[in-house]
Amino acid sequence: QVQLVESGGGLVQAGASLRLSCAASGRTFSRHVMGWFRQAPGKEREFVAAISWIGGRTSYVDSVKGRFTVSRDNAKNTVYLQMNSLEPEDTAAYYCAATPSIGIPTNFWSYDYWGQGTQVTVSS
């Protein structure tokens, strides 16, 4: 069982940066792929980024490559999403998710555990 709690969202202007954190409970955190998804009103939940549980392999959706960085600290049971050069199109609720998958899935149905979400709003 893994429980996830996101933090770090907020209201910022375009071009600003935010760092989201996801604190996980559970002794098997280090053996889970950790992903970030987002969902804007009226839109489907979208994969943003993910990081493997070992080796530091990462995956990003094209629209955030070069701007967002996902990382994890297994000693602190925490995964981060550093978001730079934010754009109004990044406005959404951001969710942290976990899966014991061997690979790095990008579809939401592959993730077993979800946080409650944190809102990111980027004004133009």
Can you give the pLDDT at residue 27?
67
Can you give the pLDDT at residue 78?
94
Q: How many residues does the chain have?
A: 124
Q: 64 burial class (0-12, 13-18, 19+ CB within 10 angstroms)?
A: buried
Per-residue pLDDT of the chain (124 residues; tens, 9 = 90+): 789 999 999 999 999 999 999 999 976 777 889 999 999 999 999 999 999 987 789 999 999 999 999 999 988 999 999 999 999 999 999 999 999 988 899 999 999 999 999 999 999 9
- Between CA 101 and CA 120 the distance in angstroms is 27
Can you give the pLDDT at residue 1?
78
